[in-house]
Amino acid sequence: MKILHCNEYGPIENLEWVDIDSPIPNDDEVLITVKAAALNYPDYLIVQGLYQFKPPLPFAPGNEGAGIIKKIGKNVKNFKQGDRVYFMAPYGAFAEEICVNAFGVSHIPTDISFEIAASYQMAYGTSYHALIQRGEIKEGDELLVLGASGGVGLAALDIAKAKGARVVAAVSTDEKAKICLEYKADDTVVYGKGPKDKEASKAFSTELKSKSLKGGYDLIYDPIGDCYAEPAFRSIGWKGRYLVVGFAAGEIPKLPINLALLKGASIVGVFWGSFTGREMNINHENIQDINLMLSRKEIKPLISKTYPMQNAIDAISMIGNRGVIGKVVLLNN
């Protein structure tokens, strides 16, 4: 079976498809025929050696997907051959088959396609955890989302609207703003390439603030960091919570800490991967609520592009070009 391998850290083009024997599940694993696998920002970083941890080489990228159970290990009780499932795995989702510990596998809710099932666990799981456990969002809160048309950003917008918040979506282009309005953003800010000097930063902050009906946001969701973070933080309201989610724009920003004092504000870290291991039961409840919202059509994960699995290298490159809207999914025939 075919699987994408990273043999050395470096340019995305160095990734290589290899043919290996079909993997054999251990007693606690299931073997899944992969139908769909979703791309996430860390896929782009990890193969270049730029992620927060570096797996030993060679390794197989891809964490999230969906497919059909082909074989089960002897300790696995809750799955059988032929079940439609979605999974989170440490490695190896960009492949024809994958062995996953049964703990990371769930049945696909009825009426959900392989593409959708493959695509929402990480984005919606992260944003749900960020907004509910870390941000303690409530009806009527005002939320600013940066990078609001990306994977986690659009999920944050979608969930926050379902929970009754007012949402201002900030993005780099008019096209991305249009998508956010389709997802019921109450207002948008288009920041182009971003503020690079002091004046532009001040103007950006003033614009963000002007879009808040309360004169400052209860919550700010930041998956991009870099030059956007400080002006965004300056638009926070009294006792606001600033959710640190990621640094897709490049640099890890440094904030003058007195800004937190002046607003009685909190800087709140979000680390979904760690949360899923440390607080498994709460994560399980989160996923159940996400599935419920999905079945009630209160949320609507967006897949903007699909590619054949063999085009994974092109698809991963797109992440670094700011080319992703919602989610991109790779499909096996």
Ligand X SMILES: NC(=O)c1ccc[n+]([C@@H]2O[C@H](COP(=O)([O-])OP(=O)(O)OC[C@H]3O[C@@H](n4cnc5c(N)ncnc54)[C@H](OP(=O)(O)O)[C@@H]3O)[C@@H](O)[C@H]2O)c1
Q: How many CB atoms lie within 10 A of CB 295?
A: 13
3-state secondary structure of 325: coil
Q: Which stretches within the chain are classed as H helix?
A: 41-46, 114-119, 121-128, 151-162, 174-182, 198-210, 226-233, 258-263, 272-278, 280-295, 312-320
**DSSP one-letter code for 102:** G
Of 23 and 273, CB closest to ligand X: 273
Segment lying near ligand X (by CB under 6 A), choices 4-12, 271-279, 281-289, 293-301: 271-279
224 binding ligand X? (CB under 6 A): yes
272 binding ligand X? (CB under 6 A): yes
Q: Which of 223, 231, 240, 301 binds ligand X (CB under 6 A)?
A: 223
Query: Given the structure tokens 């979904």, which residue do they identify?
Result: 272
Tokens standing for 40? 């996430």
Distances (CA, A) of 221 to 99, 112, 144, 271: 34, 28, 6, 13
Q: Least separation, in Å, of the C-beta of 81 and ligand X?
A: 32
42 binding ligand X? (CB under 6 A): yes
126 binding ligand X? (CB under 6 A): yes
Binders in 273-302 for ligand X, by CB under 6 A: 273
Strand duo 84-88 + 29-38: pairing: unpaired
41 binding ligand X? (CB under 6 A): yes
Of 89 and 122, CB closest to ligand X: 122
Q: Least separation, in Å, of the C-beta of 273 and ligand X?
A: 6
**DSSP one-letter code for 2:** E
315 binding ligand X? (CB under 6 A): no
Binding footprint of ligand X, residue count (CB under 6 A): 30
324 binding ligand X? (CB under 6 A): yes
Segment lying near ligand X (by CB under 6 A), choices 29-37, 56-64, 255-263, 264-272: 264-272
Segment lying near ligand X (by CB under 6 A), choices 29-37, 142-150, 231-239, 287-295: 142-150
Of 25 and 195, CB closest to ligand X: 195
Binders in 146-205 for ligand X, by CB under 6 A: 147, 149-153, 171-172, 176
Cis ω before 61 (30° cut-off from 0): no
| DSSP string covering 55-79 | PPSSB----EEEEEEEEE-TT--S-
Q: How many CB atoms lie within 10 A of CB 282?
A: 14
CA dist., res. 178 & res. 61, Å (int):
32
Q: Least separation, in Å, of the C-beta of 274 and ligand X?
A: 8
Of 310 and 317, CB closest to ligand X: 317
Q: Least separation, in Å, of the C-beta of 101 and ligand X?
A: 20
Q: How many CB atoms lie within 10 A of CB 244?
A: 21
> Which stretches of the chain bind ligand X, using CB under 6 A?
40-42, 122, 126, 147, 149-153, 171-172, 176, 223-224, 245-250, 270-273, 319-320, 322, 324
